[in-house]
Amino acid sequence: MPSILFKDYEVIAVLVNFACLSRRSMTIIQSIIIAIVEGLTEFLPVSSTGHMILTSSLMNIHDEEFVKTFEIAIQLGAIMAIVLMYSKRFLQDIQIYFKLTAAFLPTAIIGLLAYDFIKSVLFNPVIVSTSLVLGGIVLILIDKRVVEKEQQLDDVSDLPYKNAIFIGLIQCLSMIPGMSRAAATIIGGVFNRFDKTQATEFSFLLAVPTMVAATGYDLLRTNIDFTNDQLSMLGIGLAVAFVTAWFAVKIFLKIVMNYGFKHFGYYRIVIGLIFLIYMASEGSLLNSLDN
């Protein structure tokens, strides 16, 4: 199973090396690479934001404000894949809206209060790499509990409101890039009456209000006069993220059913350590901490 993930990233690594020819503004090729990373990782417990930050850092992209906005905005493309895949659920089950709202509120409140700190301080390759390692250790430690958890609810919409709010509080940990929104909500779901399949589904559904709100708020707060090239990159990024997320979700569900979550934990630790070693060898580790 891990070879599936690493094969995807071997392809991305080749593209990254091709794109990383010089220190310059983000190009179309680089925006496509980042969008592929977003689509592949948005709903996996490996942190899509963390992977995009590390990918941008590896490609030495320096258009910082636009890149940060791009990394947030293209998540809407991945979210649209979930909206279409679960359209019947959204159209026919009114109860799910109430439970998602309850789970979303803690993230909305804390996100509004911590927005400036998160974007100015936490979007840092060292923080991302460290969070990947720590989150990976947690996934490995709780994997057995997650896999063996028995179903207590007939449907995700049967989740009590207090449990939904608690899942929302745990989701707030994902505001630290590298922690992973998917990992936080899946773990929160399993410890709040869901089995692994229900926890994964609820994580997908909760991503819709969370990421739509995060993207919309970021665009309102960002003072950027987008150029035509930047608007083109946003459009391409949204489309690429949508397509890759669609396939990634289907593959992820099969992996969870057959293998659980521990392999994602191993992957997180390896990637996090590789980037920490890489930054240390390049002399950029201390610079990232200083910034």
- Summarised one tens digit per residue, pLDDT across range 241-256 is 999 999 999 888 888 8
**Residue range 262-272: mean pLDDT, rounded:** 92
- How much of the chain, in percent, has pLDDT values that exceed 70? 88
Q: Would you state the pLDDT for residue 54?
A: 85
Domain boundaries, the chain: 2-290
Please state, in angstroms and as integers, the Cα–Cα distance from residue 17 to each residue in 21, 30, 120, 238, 241, following that order. 7, 10, 27, 23, 20
Q: Would you state the pLDDT for residue 15?
A: 40
- Summarised one tens digit per residue, pLDDT across range 124-163 is 888 888 999 999 999 998 887 777 777 888 889 999 999 9
Q: What is the pTM (predicted TM-score) of this model?
A: 0.78
Q: Amino acid identity of 244?
A: T
Q: Which of 12-26, 30-44, 198-212 has the lowest mean pLDDT?
A: 12-26
